[in-house]
Chains A and B, each alone.
Chain A
Amino acid sequence: MVPRDRLLVSGLVLALVGAGVLLVVPGRRAAEKSGAASRAQAVEDAHARHRPPTQGSGLYQYAPPVGRRFDPSQVYDPAPPPPGRAPSGIREYTLVIEEDVPHEVAPGVVVPAWTFNRTVPGPVLRATEGETLRITLVNKGTLPHTIHFHGIHPATMDGVFELVPPGGQFIYEFVARPFGIMPYHCHSMPTSQHIHNGLYGMVIIDPKEGRKPMRELALVMSAFDLDRDGEADFYAWNGRAFQYADNPIELVRGEPVRLYVMNIFEEAMVPHLHGTLYHLYPSGTSLTPTEYTDVKSLNIAERALLEFQYDFPGDFMFQCHVTEHMEQGLMGWFHVVDKKDLARHRER
């Protein structure tokens, strides 16, 4: 019985292995051939969706699902207020702080933001050097808030110790100087939370002699950490991820553009233009550019004035060159058109 057992069982094992091999080998070659072709096609299809906005609905690697685009009326206007002088020599602004204002940070994703005048970032304030800036802060929130301005001003106007209680008001008044791009943000404790939640904005102070008039854009770079894990989930030009990807900014070929850009997040950011280079005025505090480049690292709270123009029409991306930031929202499009096409394009 013993040898027969051994023979039978080993025969059975061999038969099983044989059956398994026979099951797999035939047809494998044919399957591999057709499999490779369909695989290549599928990968090609996935990439084919990356089209510029004018060539269909797809945008570079990001297209919101149907019905989840930004409402164009909600898009933050990239044009800052025009330069000029107040007849009285006093520039007056009122900034109202509210908490938990619903803010659509990416299409369909709403966060409770803390806002100046119900937008993130707050409005761009503008004055000419030497004018008096008079800014009234109205606190409609439940926490004490302040406004801290960068620039040259008395200690009592620095917005660190002058906590404005809920329901309170405070008037900041100082002479606007020096010229350049100056951030403003809440400095109430914990400042990290007050800034992250949306209490920041940009002040543009123009030089007395003025700058050459041209098309102007103001962009604030920031980010939102939805789950408070120390890693931002969305990065944004002017408070909303991808809003200028959904709604490209139209520029005219050959016409100069001035871009005021500021980084208010806790990571370095690198504004980068495709298809052209820019003249760089660091912090906007000089009248002569220091560099002609297309990447400039903006450290935390750093800002820059960029001047450029496009020599070719078409769709050009503007992005943060930190690819993570770009892929999470710091990406948009300039749609550059010929002047003669402009009217026709607007009609459409």
Chain B
Amino acid sequence: MGSPDSKVSRPLVFASALAPVLLLAGILYLLLARGTGIYLEAPAPIEKLEFERVVLRPGEIRAHVINTGPETLTLAQVQVGWISRASWEFEVAPSATISRLGRAVVRIPYPWTPGEPYEIVLITANNLIFSHEIEMAAETPTPDRQMLGAFALLGVYVGVIPVFLGILWLPFLRSLPQRWYFFFLSLTAGLLVFLGVDALEDALENAERVPGPFQGVAVILIGLSVSLLGLYAITGWLKQRRRQAKEMNTALLLAYSIAFGIGVHNLGEGLAIGGAYALGEFATSFLLVVGFMVHNLTEGVAVVAPVVRTEFNWRHLVWLGLVAGGPTIAGTLLGAFAYTALWAVLFLAVGAGAVFQVVIEIIRYQARLAGAGSLASGWSLAGFVLGLLVMYVTGLFVTV
């Protein structure tokens, strides 16, 4: 055996890299041609069909389904449940025979009425049953001017207005004495930790709707870590640049980090709200909109907390608000008209990662300004706990 650093010819290096791959391909070919030799047949056919999206139009229910089982399956019958189930006529496009990971749209000419609960039941030729519940039927929004306007407005109410209202506290925060500064920074950290955990919970909830092969929980892990580590790298790079150009102060940068983290979180939240509406699981009620407004008011405070003692151009406030609140509009629109659980999970996880990263930034910022000991001071601890409590109490208004 030569030592690891002995010279080996290039082709040999390539061959050694490719050998396992080629051998695997060869074995797979043999297995495909001759079978595995393992004769373990399932006692019953294994089929899996999942609902990706259900669209309600007047006189029609449209179910978008995906075959996530190991084999091709054929849809044979459809029933619609209202108190009890009824067999109904249906059409499947492109085909009632759906290959693995293939998609199809089942059109059911059913005269549903608004506000009623329904169950869509699909029965395969192997007599397996897959069903989806519509908790409260409502016409699925079509992207016309009226509905686009309505969902954009929902985004404005839920995301933009509360953030700007929160920002309006800036003059009040500025009038408070110096020692309150760390109190509000810690309060922000508390708010953000709550938001992050909340987003993770939403992500896990939505992950249950993600078709099996797409591994919703793994998507959370990827979204969370990529956003956490990615933002870490980006803020590191920005700080370095700032040190060189002296164009932006650290406090403002932190405010933008917070705004960005909250923005991604709000995008995910908007997706979940719009998506829940599209799936017929949620009605936009006055109370709920009010609840979200109260809940998200705190986000505005979080955004401006770092810059309370800093002089800066007021235009930054507009940008901060838009970065934090604006994505909600995109979220509600995307969620309502193109909801898939996968995207909601991804954005919620990215949002959680961003929010957690910002918490780390806040802690480092405070430690640099006032020493690590200040983190354990009574003001900081009280602020952090109050941040959690504020989110909990305002969260009581939001019951999706």
Residues of A within 8 A of B (CB): 1-6, 8-10, 12-13, 16-17, 20-21, 23-24, 27-28, 31, 38-40, 42-47, 49, 58, 61-65, 68, 105-111, 226-227, 233-234, 241-242, 323-324, 327-329
Are A327's CB and B123's CB within 8 A? Answer: no
Chain B 114-157: CB-based contact to A (< 8 A → 1; otherwise 0): 00000001011111110000000001000011100110110010
Check if A108 sits within 8 Å of B92, measured CB to CB.
Answer: no
The docked-state distance in angstroms from the alpha carbon of A2 to that of B91 is 64
- Is B168 interfacial (CB-CB < 8 Å)? yes
Residue of B nearest to A63 (CB): B89
CB <8 Å contact, A4 and B89 = no
Return B120 CB to nearest CB of chain A, in Å.
14
Q: Which of B96, B121, B124, B149 contacts A65 (CB 8 A)?
A: B96
- Which chain A positions have C-beta within 8 A of B87? 62, 106, 234, 241-242, 327-329
Q: How far is the CA of A292 from the CA of B318 in the complex (A)?
A: 81
Within the assembled complex, what's the spacing in Å between the Cα atoms of A242 and B77?
Answer: 12
Contact A24 B149 (CB under 8 A): yes
Is the pair A226, B85 in contact by a Cβ cutoff of 8 Å? no
A4's partner among B110, B146, B314 (CB-CB below 8 A) is B314
Known: A42-B60, A61-B86, A226-B127. A16 touches B161 (CB 8 A): yes
Q: Does A45 lie within 8 Å of B109, measured CB to CB?
A: yes
With contacts A43-B111, A111-B127, A233-B121 known, what are 19 further pairs, Cβ within 8 A? A4-B314, A8-B318, A9-B317, A20-B149, A28-B146, A39-B58, A45-B109, A46-B110, A58-B89, A62-B87, A106-B77, A106-B87, A106-B123, A108-B74, A109-B77, A110-B127, A233-B79, A323-B84, A324-B86
Of the listed residues B87, B126, B149, the one surrounded by the most CB atoms of chain A closer than 10 A to its CB is B87
Interface string of B151-176 (1 = CB under 8 A from A): 01100100011001101101100110
* B290 partner residues in chain A, CB cutoff 8 A: none
Whether, in the assembled complex, B388 has its beta carbon less than 8 Å from a beta carbon of chain A, the answer is no
The answer to whether B60 and A46 have CB atoms under 8 Å apart is yes
Q: Which residues of B contact A62 (CB under 8 A)?
A: 86-89
Would you give the 0/1 interface string for B173-193, flagging 1 where the beta carbon is closer than 8 Å to chain A? 011000000000000000000
> Is there contact, CB below 8 Å, between A109 and B96?
no
Contacts of B84 in A (CB 8 A): 323-324, 327-328
A24 to B141: give the CA distance in the assembly, Å. Answer: 14
Q: Which of B84, B174, B175, B317 has the most CB of A within 10 A?
A: B84
A13 x B77 contact (CB < 8 A) = no
- B365 contacts the other chain (Cβ, under 8 Å)? no
B contacts with A, residue count (CB < 8 A): 53
* B146 near A226: Cβ-Cβ < 8 Å: no
- A106 and B76 contacting across the interface, CB-CB below 8 Å: yes
Residue pair B76, A109 in contact (C-beta under 8 Å): yes
Residues of chain A lying within 8 A (CB to CB) of residue B79: 233, 328
Interface string of B50-70 (1 = CB under 8 A from A): 000000011110000000000
State the main secondary structure of chain B at its contact with A.
mixed
Bound-complex Cα distance A282 to B34 (A):
63
B146–A24 CB distance below 8 A: yes
By a CB distance below 8 angstroms, the chain B residues around A6 are 168, 171
Return A213 CB to nearest CB of chain B, in Å: 37
Select from chain A the residue with minimum beta-carbon distance to B108.
A46
Q: State the Cβ distance, A110 to closest chain B Cβ, in Å.
A: 6
Q: In whole angstroms, what is the CA distance A45 to B110 when docked?
A: 10
Q: Which residue of the partner chain A has the closest CB to B130?
A: A227
CA distance in complex: A128, B175 (Å): 105
Question: Are A64 and B89 interface neighbours, CB within 8 A?
Answer: yes
Contact between chains at A328 and B164 (CB < 8 Å): no
Q: B127, A5: Cβ atoms under 8 Å?
A: no
**A110 & B146 in contact (Cβ 8 Å cutoff):** no
A24–B150 CB distance below 8 A: yes
Q: Enumerate 29 A-B pairs (CB-CB under 8 Å) in ascending A order.
A: A1-B314, A2-B174, A4-B314, A5-B170, A5-B317, A8-B314, A8-B317, A9-B164, A21-B153, A24-B149, A27-B145, A38-B58, A39-B139, A44-B59, A49-B109, A62-B86, A62-B87, A109-B76, A109-B77, A109-B123, A109-B124, A109-B127, A110-B127, A227-B128, A233-B123, A234-B87, A323-B84, A327-B84, A327-B85
Interface residues, chain B, CB within 8 Å of chain A? Answer: 57-60, 74, 76-77, 79, 83-92, 96, 109-111, 121, 123-129, 139, 144-146, 149-150, 152-153, 156, 160-161, 164-165, 167-168, 170-171, 174-175, 314, 317-318, 321
Q: Is A17 a contact partner of B317 (Cβ separation < 8 A)? A: no
A324-B85 contact, Cβ under 8 Å, with A17-B156, A39-B58: yes
The answer to whether A17 touches B161 (Cβ under 8 A) is: yes
A42-B59, A227-B128, A233-B129 known; A107 vs B89 contact (CB < 8 Å):
no
- Chain B residues within an 8 Å CB radius of A8: 314, 317-318
* Complex: chain B residue closest to A24, CB-CB: B149
Return chain B residues, CB-CB under 8 Å to A20: 149, 152-153, 156
| A328 contact set on B, CB distance < 8 A | 79, 84-87
In the complex, what residues of A have CB within 8 A of residue B150's CB? Answer: 24
CB distance from A192 to the nearest CB of B (A): 18
> Cβ of B58: which chain A residues have Cβ within 8 Å of it?
38-40, 42-43
Check A108/B85 contact, CB under 8 A, given A5-B317, A13-B161, A328-B79. no
Give chain B residues whose Cβ lies under 8 Å from the Cβ of A27: 145-146
Given A5-B314, A106-B77, A108-B76, verify A65-B110 contact (CB < 8 Å).
no
Q: Which residues of B contact A38 (CB under 8 A)?
A: 58
Q: State the CA gap A148–B161 with chains docked (Å).
A: 75
Closest CB in chain B relative to A224 CB, distance in Å: 8
| B70 → A minimal CB distance (Å) | 19
Complex CA gap A46/B88 in Å reads: 11
Interchain nearest-CB distance for A99 vs B (Å): 14
* Max chain B C-beta neighbours (<10 A), residue from A1, A3, A108: A108
Instruction: Specify which chain B residues have a CB less than 8 angstroms from the CB of A107 in the assembled complex.
Output: 76-77
Smallest beta-carbon distance A229→chain B, Å? 8
On chain A, the residues within 8 Å of B314 by CB distance are: 1, 4-5, 8
The answer to whether A65 touches B91 (Cβ under 8 A) is yes
A47, chain B: closest CB distance, angstroms: 6
Residue of B nearest to A36 (CB): B58
Pick from A9, A28, A106, A327: contact of B167, CB under 8 Å: A9
B59 pairs with A16, CB closer than 8 A: no
Find chain A residues with CB under 8 A from B60 CB. 42, 46
Determine whether the beta carbon of A24 is less than 8 Å from that of B59: no
